[in-house]
Structure 1
Amino acid sequence: MNQAVAPHPNRARIGRPIGKFIFSTLYRGAALHPERVPMTGPVILVANHAAFLDGPLVFGLSPRPVSFLVKQEAFSGFWGWTINAVGQIPIDRTVGDRAALAAATVVLERGGAVGIFPEGNRGSGEVEQVNSGAAWIALRTHAQIVPVAVLGTRVPGATKDDWPAFRSRLLVDFGDPFALTVDPAVPGRDRLRLATEQLRDALASHVRRSRVENGSSPDVH
């Protein structure tokens, strides 16, 4: 099992300006409605996931420092050193990685922000299904959840491994924060299932609405 530990809060705080610089020079990155992200208290950013740049883009354009759960395979070489240095959390996606979830929980319990791609893997970005990890953490920490629509990182016809052309328009659209509202009297497993469905519905709805409002068509497999 992954032996993830909670990163020091200064790591994400120091790394964020670097990401913001990259996405304002190499690309035309823009954050829409950043004022919707609570600037204090525990917050989970849940985003759709269609391309490699999704994580770095949200990290760089978020209005507050955020530690993302990132697949442990990415923590190798120079890139691995970089994402570790800026406070990201490795997660083993092949198992229920309790160490990674515990690290994310610690970040939230000390009032920080965590980023999660609940789809688990890069896909169409339409949020057709999600894993239960984000809902589990939210129920445990009572953190607010902010749905995030990532647009432009994967153009129609491209594969999930393709990168957008330099100076492409990339958008991060932050939705309204919400809390999971599941009756605590519901048994544990059913409660988690209902919470996961609620989270998926909220994120999928926000992504659809953002695509309409910003003129972005769904990504093509």
Structure 2
Amino acid sequence: MSGHAELPRSDTTPHPRRLMLESLRPPARLLTRRRFGVQVHGAERVPTSGPVIFAANHMGVMDGPLLGIFAPRPVHALTKLEMFHGRTGRFLLAAGQIPLDRFHPDPAAVRSCLRVLRDGRAIGIFPEGTRGTGDLARFHRGAAYLALVTGAPVVPVIFLGSRPVGGHHDAVPPKGGPVDIVFGAPCTFPAEPWPRSREQVGEASVLLRERMLETLDHARALTGRDLPGPLPAAEVEPDPATGITDQGAP
């Protein structure tokens, strides 16, 4: 896919690393399935080539790794900047993940995502912004914005069981515990030329959230399972009030 010279430009932005991202997935799937009962549903809905945006709900610490390991295609996921310290940060960079400053405009993260998409590969994003109930009550604009810039299809992803009921933000299921990953039908928005307005991004975000809520309902019916409930109040992470569902958001 071309377009690196279009605004925002991504022609001078290096592609995130790919070797470890791709080589670790098969052994990681094997090891994860020895510990948890992971079931993947709807993988056939994911486009097998070209750019794609995975937009997932977010409940616990396992969501990012599960997306990276079990998505049908390797995923360069947007990951909060706070994670990129020490050994963990070096591993995330080596595994091709993209640091994101959630509290300030981050053009470097945007350009990295555009580089990946314009090269015909996949990114992952959690529109809720941070771990929570997974019910999409919070919803940021990033996924829709990237879709409008590139025309890449957005595939909804719903996790069920990745955090136990009533569990803490870093809790994982018990050994052998079932985890379901449900991929929904791709949602496509026509690429909009520069400059894209806040209203256009907001409207696309509303439509994308509706599609993700439909996928959530489908996932519940398909698996007979539900979300884990809210995090303990003391563990709710700060998150900027810039989403389409925040009070006063245009």
* Both structures adopt the same fold (TM-score exceeding 0.5): yes
Q: Percent identity?
A: 35
What is the identity, as a one-letter code, of the residue corresponding to 1:104?
Answer: C
C-alpha separation in 2, matches of 1:83 and 1:99: 16
Structure 1, unaligned runs of 5 or more: none
Tell me by how many angstroms 1:49 deviates: 0.2
C-alpha separation in 2, matches of 1:5 and 1:166: 39
Kindly provide the CA deviation profile for residues 142-197 of structure 1, in whole angstroms up to 9, marking residues without a partner as x: 1011000111011222122222212211111111112026988x971211110111
Number of the residue aligned with 1:128: 137
Tell me by how many angstroms 1:38 deviates: 0.6
Contact 2:40–2:182 (8 Å) recurs in 1: yes
Residues 168 and 25 of structure 1: CA distance in aligned 2, closer, same or farther (over 3 Å): same
Indicate whether 1:143 and 2:149 are aligned.
no
Residues 142 and 181 of structure 1: CA distance in aligned 2, closer, same or farther (over 3 Å): closer
Residues 170 and 188 of structure 1: CA distance in aligned 2, closer, same or farther (over 3 Å): same
Tell me by how many angstroms 1:27 deviates: 1.3
SS of 1:137 mapped into structure 2: helix
C-alpha separation in 2, matches of 1:153 and 1:139: 30
Indicate whether 1:35 and 2:39 are aligned.
no
Q: 1:89 aligns with which of 80, 98, 101?
A: 98
Aligned length: 218
What is the identity, as a one-letter code, of the residue corresponding to 1:62?
Answer: A
TM-score of the two chains, using structure 1 as the length reference: 0.91
Q: 1:190 aligns with which of 176, 196, 199?
A: 199
Indicate whether 1:21 and 2:30 are aligned.
yes
Kindly provide the CA deviation profile for residues 54-101 of structure 1, in whole angstroms up to 9, marking residues without a partner as x: 010111111111110001111123322222221111111111211111
Q: Larger radius of gyration, structure 1 or 2? A: 2
Kindly provide the CA deviation profile for residues 193-216 of structure 1, in whole angstroms up to 9, marking residues without a partner as x: 101111111112201220122011
Number of the residue aligned with 1:209: 218
Contact 2:151–2:190 (8 Å) recurs in 1: no
C-alpha separation in 2, matches of 1:80 and 1:64: 22
Structure with the bigger RCO (C-alpha within 8 Å, sep 6+) is 1
Contact 1:5–1:99 (8 Å) recurs in 2: no
Contact 1:52–1:161 (8 Å) recurs in 2: yes
C-alpha separation in 1, matches of 2:82 and 2:74: 23
C-alpha separation in 1, matches of 2:32 and 2:45: 20
Number of the residue aligned with 1:178: 187
Structure 2, unaligned runs of 5 or more: 1-12, 231-250
C-alpha separation in 2, matches of 1:132 and 1:96: 12
Residues 71 and 41 of structure 1: CA distance in aligned 2, closer, same or farther (over 3 Å): same
Indicate whether 1:168 and 2:177 are aligned.
yes
Q: Report the structure, 1 or 2, having the larger helix content.
A: 1
User: Which contiguous aligned blocks of 4+ residues in structure 1 show a shift greater than 4 angstroms?
Assistant: 181-184
